[in-house]
Amino acid sequence: MAETQREKEFHRLRTPRSAAVAGIVFAVLFATSLVLLRTALPTDPFDETPWVGSGETRIKAALLLAPFAGIAFLWFIGVIRDRLGDLEDRFFATVFLGSGLLFLAMGFVSMGVAGGVLAIARHSGNSANEIVYFGREIMLQINHVYALRMAAVFMISLGTIWLRTGLMPRWLVVTTYLLALALLVIVDFSLWTTWAFPAWVLLVSVYILVTGRRASAVADRSLRSAPASWRRSRR
């Protein structure tokens, strides 16, 4: 009797259904910040046009959205791990979690460099053009080369987990591998390349959200159709 009372007092912490929306929030905020940064920065890194004055508002908006995108990405990782449950493999889980955190850290560093470039350009004028160009190239290298490679590793490890456990459909696994391969092979500063990762996160989040609601609806119908004595025993 005492053990039953203890079980009633302590309830297992469950992931809220709304957590699946975190991936959608990340995709929207991250893609928006990328667009703001890429439209504010000139295509030619040595363009003498005073780009900071015209794009300062967009850069500030991108820097404001970036931390919230990172928080949403952490929630997305939590949703994925919760969906794996006891099927999580230590090796692939380590690669999956490590690459995700590295991607997030590099994204924050890139945005921090962008903030530093903005501050230098605003207060130094034309006397610090070389520093501005240098900072801009560091930001692009971190974001487009290293961060995107970590995103590709994140996708490959997660796709392998899905393939071995069967938690996701085969078409989603194949799509994950193809997009990850593109991020690994393509060395380009194109905006379309960087959009591949948030687009994939959006696709996975929508799938989890839709299938989660369907499973919940099926479970609710099964519970209502069950005998009353069985329902009381589940409470």
- How large is the average pLDDT for residues 218-228? 44
**Does residue 162 have a pLDDT over 70?**
yes
Tens digits of residue pLDDT in 41-87: 765 555 555 555 556 788 888 889 999 999 999 989 888 888 777 77
Cα 143 to Cα 202: distance, rounded to the nearest angstrom = 19
For CA atoms 158, 163, 165, 170, the dihedral sign is positive
Alpha helices in the chain (DSSP H): 2-9, 21-40, 51-84, 90-124, 129-140, 148-165, 170-185, 191-194, 196-225, 228-234
Q: Given this model, what pLDDT does residue 15 score?
A: 54
Q: Give long-range contacts, CB 8 A cutoff, 24+ apart: 88-94.
A: 88/161, 89/161, 89/164, 92/157, 92/160, 92/161, 93/161
Q: What is the pTM of this model?
A: 0.75
Q: pLDDT over 90 for what percent of the chain?
A: 23
Predicted local distance difference test score (pLDDT) of residue 199: 92
pLDDT exceeds cutoff 90 at 28: yes
- Residues 165-183: what's their mean pLDDT? 91
- In terms of pLDDT, which residue wins out, 191 or 36? 36
Q: How confident is the model at residue 124 (pLDDT cuts 50, 70, 90)?
A: low
204/103 Cα distance (integer angstroms): 18
pLDDT of 218 above 50 = no
Rg (CA), the chain: 22
Residue 200 pLDDT: 93
From residue 187, alpha-carbon distances to 98, 118, 190 in Å are 22, 26, 9
Q: Between residues 14 and 192, which one has the greater pLDDT?
A: 192
